[in-house]
Amino acid sequence: MPSNDRVVFVDGVRTPFGRAGEKGVYWQTRADDLAVKAMVGLLERNPNVPLAKIDEVAIAATTQQGDQGLTLGRTVALLAGLPQSVPGYAIDRMCAGAMTAVTATAGGIAFGAYDIVLAGGVEHMGRHPIGFNADPNPRFLAEKLVSSDALNMGATAERLHDRFPHLTKERTDAYAMRSQQKVAAAYAAGHIQGDLIPVANRTASGFGLVSVDEAPRPETTMEGLAALKTPFRAHGRVTAGNSSGLNDGATVALLASEKAAKELNLGIKMVMVSFAYAGVEPEVMGYGPVPATIKALDKAGLTIDDIGLFEVNEAFSVQVLAFLDYFGMADDDPRVNEYGGAIAFGHPLASSGVRLMIHLAHQFARHPEVRYGLTTMCIGLGQGGSVIWENPNYKGASN
């Protein structure tokens, strides 16, 4: 029978994000071990969770092969020491894998099938580049279902620039620089470290401990960004500086019914209000957060003005600016990505959705005047996903 219980976000953690490739901190670390490390860290800091009472484990990955294959939710659960009675499965919705893991298991909680779940994602883009070994159906191009640009995320960002020429390269570079600056400020203020699970690693120079994100470049300047190449189009506008990078990392969240969370004294960081996914033209996949957010707001009976904090995944600067522009928000709106975003932190594809939730939950605790927040992201092949959350710390708007 469907439940009238609310779905709550109890907690979430992540590994530090590394740069993909042979020089990255996780080059010699398995993808599934990254997810295991995050899961173990999450359970260790939530000792009230009875492991045998976890009803489901959903772990996402975009390129499900090798050490990122074999039904990740089940294998990671077993490797993390969960009882054999706990089931699990894998998910693929490209960039929104972890977000989908959360919303899919949340649906089970809302229906009454689950009380406690673990949901997250992992991406080791060094070992498994996006689309590696994929074989797109030739009908996509032969029947002109999509253009070739739709299969190249950077090219879709250039297409967004074409569609919205007022979103200039200078604006996207300025946004990217602010993201780097906000990440540096958030680290300096101690807002990031508390939700990171350090990972022991091995590199050519020996053994070490990864305790911070590898990708941020706080030294970024407008002059440096202006000089970067445009790899997706000659004389284009999308560069490595105003895009997220290629990264490795894992995230895991603990969700529960409100009743179970209170009975087990788990604590509640956020309450799920609504979620929605939407499709757009694959050639401009970055526009997906706009219709997804419209749908999520409509389902919640809210307007964009009700949202006090936004976590928008920064796949590309132009994609974020297109979202802000549609809703009449300034490029530097202080409600948006208070701690910076994927342009600096990195974007290990299927793991990023929970990273957004972790940051929003932290901000909710610091902003009791905010009642609602949004996590949203664009998704490859022309989709968007949005989740609206309520702040359990809400004390009413400040005067």
Per-state percent for the chain, helix, strand, coil, to nearest 5: 40, 20, 40
Residue of 128, 347, 359, 367 marked catalytic:
347
Closest CA to 377 of 353, 358, 355, 359: 353
Q: Are strands 56-60 and 88-91 parallel, antiparallel or unpaired?
A: parallel
Is the Cβ–Cβ distance between 260 and 3 less than 8 Å?
Answer: no
Residue of 161, 191, 362, 378 marked catalytic:
378
Q: Is 378 annotated in the active site?
A: yes
Q: Quick one: tokens of 161? A: 């620039």
Kindly report the CA angle at 107 between 131 and 66, in degrees rounded to 5? 25
* Separation of alpha carbons 238 and 316, rounded Å: 8
Is the Cβ–Cβ distance between 188 and 349 less than 8 Å?
Answer: no
Calculate the dihedral angle through the C-alpha atoms of 56, 60, 66, 67, rounding to the nearest 10 degrees: -70
Q: Is 359 annotated in the active site?
A: no
What one-character-per-residue DSSP string does 236-257 give? Answer: -S--STTB---EEEEEEEEEEE
Residue of 95, 124, 161, 362 marked catalytic:
95
Q: Is 95 annotated in the active site?
A: yes
Closest CA to 340 of 12, 17, 4, 7: 17
Which residues are marked as active site?
A: 95, 347, 378
